[in-house]
Structure 1
Amino acid sequence: MWRILRILFFSFIICIDYTMADQLNDMVNAPHRETTSQRDHYRHPLETLTFFDIQQDMTVVEIWPGTHGWYTEILAPYLRKKGKLYAAHFNANSTSPFYRDSRKQFLDKLRVSPDFYDKVTITSFNPPSYVDIAPAGSADRVLTFRNIHNWYMRGGGDERVLAAFSAFYRALKPGGILGVVEHRLPDTRPESDQEGSGYLRENYVIRLAEQAGFRLLAKSNINANPTDSTNHPKGVWTLPPTLRLGELQRDHYLSIGESDRMTLKFIKSTD
């Protein structure tokens, strides 16, 4: 009798795990992503979200989802029934027309498809001024994809990056996870190369996250691109999808693909 119960119990657990993985895979391959999924072979969303251990009943904060909400298209429907998604977007009252327009277009997209996006809560994030991304201690996961260089560049430096990490730490529950994907500059290059290139050194990101209180749990090469030298005339924007040089050596930069990226998982201490 006990043997039968044990078999049934473990079969149930396996079924739950399979269902969660299958449902995330379904969201990644859903018809509404037909256009945006063309970049999946560079961004590896299924592998990345699995590495960050995103479960359907979690409260997740996505930082700066941008105009199109590339990851929002996956996270919002995946979390819609059992979890919660906060989209910490640009400040609606920003002096930057780009930030205002990006937020407006993102909101318009959410309104057009309420079946996917009606449960998303919008907050404002622009460190160090706007940092209330979610109620303190409420989030299971905070995710930031290729954003940290923006806070570092244009005079932001350590102070702005640290303000961002501190906001993430504050929003997370004890034991919560911060997931980071960022353009990676080789650690052998001087930190001064971070200012205009769009790339950051991995040891720099880890140091600032730890300074905010996080502990590094794991690294992954899911989003690595060894063919990217990271030394380009227009920084990371030389590569696709931006291709800032236009037709100049276009085929060459397309053959490289998108940037080499670090994928890091940090934990908020339970102490």
Structure 2
Amino acid sequence: MIRLICLTTLLLGSFVAVIADDHDHSAALKKAAEGDHRSDAHKARNQHRHPVETLSFFGIKPNMTVVEVSPGGSAWYSEILAPFLREEGKLYLAGYDVNDKREYVVKNREKLAQKLADNPDVYDKVQVTEFNPPKKKGIAPEGSVDMVLTFRNTHGWMRGGIAPNAFEIFYKVLKPGGVLGVVQHRADPNIEAEARPSGGYVNQDYLIKMAEHAGFILVASSEINANPKDTKDHPKGVWSLPPTYADGDEHKAKFEKIGESDRMTLKFVKP
């Protein structure tokens, strides 16, 4: 009887420790998401993008090696990942090919570099690599990564015909058991899937099949970033919605009421 009580106490203690550990991670993520290094405009979007809940769902821990793919010039999620991983983990930002001379690419590459240089207390340990799926360049050493993250990028890769190569690259850099976390604008499931979506919305089943074809296993999905108000039939696709308002001021009030796009949140694992 005494042994049973001791075992129960031990198991309960371990369970409490796990809960406390998860709580500590959430607190650290929240601190990073609300940090002074972030602009008020970026912090205001926390309510729409749910970064703490999203990263917690993916199972991120501060001692992980993580790749964020295509962070863009604003590096919105990088602002949270960098301080969270700075002391115990490692963050790779898989950015643009340095040989890509397109104006948009050059502008965002320079913007990202300047952002990192301006705040070494946050970004001094971040390592920027190149993401160029056609050339299959390494975004990190093969088999060295615990987690790969991509936020609202898959539609662009699909339009460019490079999505299958992208998922192959993610698979190669991850360790066995490593996680691929995907957030993406979600298309109406009743509309036929597009291989190269023009409006930014991607069919969820289509995306899952692409990841599975690369070898991944879908282990969980979440409605953290769902928005049932999004009708997905806007004149300029997801870019009609905030924060872009691509249609201008004429229908801005309408799109403000809808909010940001409906998004799938998917967690894959490399077996």
1:192: Cα distance to partner?
3.6
Paired residue type of 2:132 = N
1:191: Cα distance to partner?
2.3
Provide closer, same or farther for how the CA distance between residues 202 and 11 of structure 1 changes in structure 2, counting only shifts above 3 A. Answer: closer
1:96: Cα distance to partner?
1.1
CA distance in 1, matches of 2:182, 2:19: 29
Q: Find out whether 1:177 has 2:179 as its counterpart.
A: yes
1:35-69 CA distance string (max 9 Å, x none): 21111111000000000011000000000111111
Tell me which residue corresponds to 1:86: 92
1:18: Cα distance to partner?
2.9
Q: Find out whether 1:122 has 2:136 as its counterpart.
A: no
1:83: Cα distance to partner?
0.3
Q: Is the Cα–Cα contact under 8 Å of residues 91 and 130 in structure 1 kept in the other structure?
A: no
Q: Is the Cα–Cα contact under 8 Å of residues 194 and 201 in structure 1 kept in the other structure?
A: no
Provide closer, same or farther for how the CA distance between residues 206 and 11 of structure 1 changes in structure 2, counting only shifts above 3 A. Answer: closer
Provide closer, same or farther for how the CA distance between residues 11 and 180 of structure 1 changes in structure 2, counting only shifts above 3 A. Answer: closer
Q: Secondary structure at the match of 1:197?
A: coil
Q: Is the Cα–Cα contact under 8 Å of residues 136 and 172 in structure 1 kept in the other structure?
A: yes
Provide closer, same or farther for how the CA distance between residues 13 and 233 of structure 1 changes in structure 2, counting only shifts above 3 A. Answer: closer
1:129: Cα distance to partner?
2.1
1:94-136 CA distance string (max 9 Å, x none): 0311111101111111111101000000001022225311000
Q: Is the Cα–Cα contact under 8 Å of residues 180 and 265 in structure 1 kept in the other structure?
A: yes
Q: Secondary structure at the match of 2:245?
A: coil
Q: Find out whether 1:208 has 2:194 as its counterpart.
A: no
The 5 A counterparts of 1:60-209 are: 60-153=66-159, 156-157=160-161, 160-192=162-194, 195-209=197-211
1:28: Cα distance to partner?
1.6
Tell me which residue corresponds to 1:267: 269
Paired residue type of 1:219 = S
Q: Secondary structure at the match of 1:216?
A: strand
Q: Is the Cα–Cα contact under 8 Å of residues 26 and 52 in structure 2 kept in the other structure?
A: no
Provide closer, same or farther for how the CA distance between residues 34 and 162 of structure 1 changes in structure 2, counting only shifts above 3 A. Answer: same
Paired residue type of 2:238 = V
Tell me which residue corresponds to 1:222: 224
CA distance in 2, matches of 1:94, 1:10: 50
Q: Secondary structure at the match of 2:197?
A: helix
Q: Is the Cα–Cα contact under 8 Å of residues 28 and 84 in structure 2 kept in the other structure?
A: yes
Q: Is the Cα–Cα contact under 8 Å of residues 185 and 201 in structure 1 kept in the other structure?
A: yes
Paired residue type of 1:21 = S
Q: Find out whether 1:21 has 2:23 as its counterpart.
A: no
Is there any run of 5+ residues in structure 2 with no aligned partner, and where? Answer: none
TM-score (norm 1): 0.92
Paired residue type of 2:31 = D
Identity over aligned pairs, percent? 47
Paired residue type of 2:211 = A
CA distance in 1, matches of 2:267, 2:13: 34
Provide closer, same or farther for how the CA distance between residues 13 and 179 of structure 1 changes in structure 2, counting only shifts above 3 A. Answer: closer
Paired residue type of 1:217 = V
Number of residue pairs matched by the alignment: 265
Provide closer, same or farther for how the CA distance between residues 133 and 255 of structure 1 changes in structure 2, counting only shifts above 3 A. Answer: same
Tell me which residue corresponds to 1:39: 45
Paired residue type of 2:214 = A
